[in-house]
Chain A
Amino acid sequence: MKKTTWFILGGLLVALLLAGVVSNFASGSPDGLDSASTKGCTVDENDEITGGSCMAQNAKDSETADSPFADYGISGIDNAYVSTGLAGVAGVLLTFAIGGGLFWLARGRRSPAEAGERKG
């Protein structure tokens, strides 16, 4: 169990480095879905659709567009590197807390008898 705890902590550290530091070197281009969704439309520098016909034409803002973490940045922090990095760190910790917490609560207490007959 102790060994597993260290493994989990090590894995979390890697995830924090990826989301907190490496994320700043990620490509800023639209992804496959976004690029296909705007094909046929003209788009200005703020990614707003200005005309044409495309799948994303009627796209609306997210309900959470005003979230302090919207678009993987922290509102109020002007330095893009710090903003993206901190948002990434927050996201990793939040996802681990929510995911890990829910999985911990949902885990079935497996008695040896149950474990033996693990069928459909």
Chain B
Amino acid sequence: MEAVALHISNGVLNGPVSAIYGVIALVALAYCVSRGRRDLDDRLAPMAGLVAAFIFAVQMLNFPVLPGVSGHLLGGAMAALLVGPWVGALCVSVVLIVQALVFADGGVTALGANVTNMALVGTAVAYLLIFLLLRVLPRTPAGLGITAFVASVVAVVAASQSFVLQYALGGTTELEHYGLGSVAGIMAGTHILIGIGEGLIAAVTVMTVAKTRPDLVYALRGLKRVQPATAQGVAA
């Protein structure tokens, strides 16, 4: 029952690549703070704290996806829908930092790589899909549920491929029995299944909030005044 390492451990990526991703993560998070400040007010701040705590809790719930393989939610799509992309990426990052520093989950030197994959790539890809889907789908609990599901699946697969890129750039082991192509294939395959699990959890969560307190759902309030500028900012 003992939980194993769920995130990238120390020593999997070499020093330079770990350091580069550390810098990328720091710069991106600083930008998220500056953009997120505009979204954060007296109501969104405690909501964002709750989203972070909730993601921490749900990340402990590994569900089986294949015989001998499990997965857990990453949380980017849920966070982006509930508190917006900038604050959402910060929520996932807070979770990853607490996990690395207190729970020995994910190496501290790998924190930049883990933040990049799950908090930055995951949330950015999810928000891009959310932005597109909510232009077509109705802004109802059902529409949000479908959006949460699709955005989760795509974002989780994107995060898994971001790891494959990191390993291609700075993996510490020369693989003897198979190449990076098959790593990409294996990661995509398991993460489609993990994404489906995450999508169901995210859909139920977001629909529940949308039904009880629609005013606390960022995607519902933000999209009432769609601005092209916002879309470009997220896509970049």
The chain A residues found within 8 Å of chain B, CB to CB, are: 1, 3-5, 7-8, 11-12, 14-16, 18-19, 22-24, 26-37, 39-40, 47, 52-65, 67, 69-73, 80, 84, 87-88, 91-104, 106-108, 110, 114, 118-120
Distance (whole angstroms) from the CB of B72 to the closest CB of chain A: 6
B11 to chain A, nearest CB (A): 4
B139 in contact (CB, < 8 A): no
B103 contacts A71, CB within 8 Å?
A: yes
Question: Which of chain A's residues have a CB closer than 8 A to the CB of B45?
Answer: 100, 103-104, 106-107
Contact yes or no, B3 A72, CB < 8 A: yes
Q: Please state if B38 and A57 are interface contacts (CB–CB under 8 Å).
A: no
For B63, list chain A residues within 8 Å (CB).
26-27
B contact residues around A103 at 8 Å (CB): 40, 44-46, 48-49, 87, 90
Complex Cα distance A63/B111, Å? 12
Show 24 A/B contacts (Cβ-Cβ < 8 Å), sorted by A.
A4-B46, A5-B46, A7-B213, A7-B216, A15-B57, A27-B63, A28-B1, A31-B72, A33-B6, A35-B190, A36-B183, A53-B177, A55-B183, A62-B104, A69-B102, A95-B94, A96-B53, A98-B94, A98-B98, A100-B50, A101-B49, A103-B44, A103-B49, A104-B49
Q: Are A120 and B173 in contact (CB under 8 A)?
A: no
Task: Given A4-B216, A55-B175, answer yes or no on A62-B50 (Cβ-Cβ < 8 Å).
Answer: no
Pick from B43, B47, B60: contact of A88, CB under 8 Å: B60
| Contact partners of B37 in chain A: CB under 8 A | 106-108
Encode B163-200 as 1/0 by CB contact (under 8 A) with A: 10001000111111110000100110011011000000
User: B158 at the A/B interface (Cβ < 8 Å)?
Assistant: no
B59-71 to A contact mask, C-beta < 8 Å, 1/0:
0111111001111
Binds A, one of B19-27, B146-154, B228-236: B228-236
* Contact residues in B for A106 (Cβ distance below 8 Å): 33, 36-37, 40, 45
B105 touches A32 (CB 8 A): no
Among A3, A73, A102, which residue has the most Cβ atoms of chain B within 10 A? A102
Residues B101 and A64 in contact, CB atoms below 8 Å apart? yes
Q: Count A-B contacts at CB 8 Å.
A: 283
Contact of A53 among B42, B176, B213, B233 (CB under 8 A): B176
Binary flags per residue of B85-118, CB closer than 8 Å to A gives 1, else 0: 0010011001100111111111111000000000
Q: Which of A7, A39, A62 is the most central at the interface, judged by chain B CB atoms within 10 Å of its CB?
A: A62
B13 vs chain A, min Cβ distance (A): 9
Docked-complex contact A32 and B191, CB < 8 angstroms? yes
A-contact 0/1 string along B1-21, CB 8 Å cutoff: 111111111111000000000
A72: chain B residues within 8 A (beta carbon): 2-3, 60, 103, 105
Q: Are A54 and B106 in contact (CB under 8 A)?
A: no
Q: A30-B70, A32-B191, A56-B12 are in contact. Are A64 and B47 (CB under 8 A)?
A: no
Q: Cα distance A60–B106 when bound, in Å?
A: 10
Chain B residues with Cβ below 8 Å from A104 are: 45-46, 49
Given A29-B68, A106-B33, A110-B41; A58-B62 close (CB under 8 Å): no
- Is B56 in the interface zone, CB < 8 Å from A? yes
Docked-complex contact A32 and B49, CB < 8 angstroms: no
